[in-house]
Amino acid sequence: MGKITLYDDTAKINAACLYAASGNYSQVARDTNIPRTTILSWAKDSAVWVESLVKARQEINDEILAGNLKLVIKTNEETMDRVEHGDYVLTKDGKQIRVPMKGRDLAVVGGIKEDKARVALGQATSISVTQDSRELAEVCKELSRAMRRDDRVVSVQTKNQSKTDSEDNKDEEKE
């Protein structure tokens, strides 16, 4: 009969962390000398594995976000420097000088920064018009034209009004 080896929770946690980093069960098996089938069974049935994997993935995501934040901060600083003091260019004699950014470049940088800020805040970055909304707009325009031609007036009843204007007119006629 085959050799049965029991692994403690530390082995499961270690394997789960390695899997979170690599995404490859075979690689984890090679790195830990634990059979791939054992690792697969932990992935299916072990609460320790699942909890460790979730924590490890969160830590990885946190590290990625922290790195991205550093990059964004540095990029913003460098972009502001270019906007305020100009871009670096080399002259014919090899000297480095700064020249003001062109309006087009400023507009592109500003537009991109605005879009990214809106994305980060969960705001819209564009306006979409579907065929259905265009058709609805056409119907509304046509209705408006027809009503102007026929000299009709549209009455809008609010929640607080109990009668429409036409009902008010009927009541006045009765008096």
Both 92 and 114 in one domain: the answer is: yes
**Number of domains forming the structure of the chain:** 2
Both 48 and 87 in one domain: the answer is: no
Both 20 and 50 in one domain: the answer is: yes
Would 92 be classed as within a structural domain? Answer: yes
> pTM higher than 0.85, yes or no?
no
Residue 169 pLDDT: 52
How confident is the model over 24-41, as pLDDT tens digits? 999 999 999 999 999 999
Residue 167 pLDDT: 55
Would 162 be classed as within a structural domain? Answer: no
Would 167 be classed as within a structural domain? Answer: no
Would 132 be classed as within a structural domain? Answer: no
Residue 133 pLDDT: 78
Would 35 be classed as within a structural domain? Answer: yes
Average pLDDT over residues 92-103: 94
Is there a contact between 129 and 136 (Cβ–Cβ < 8 Å)? no
**How far is the C-alpha of 25 from the C-alpha of 13, rounded, in Å?**
14
> Whole-number mean pLDDT of the chain?
84
Share of the chain above pLDDT 90, in %: 57
Here the tokens at position 129 are 């018009």
Would 107 be classed as within a structural domain? Answer: yes
For residue 93, give its domain range. Answer: 69-121
Residue whose structure tokens are 């970055």: 125
Quick one: CA dihedral 140, 144, 146, 152, positive or negative?
A: positive
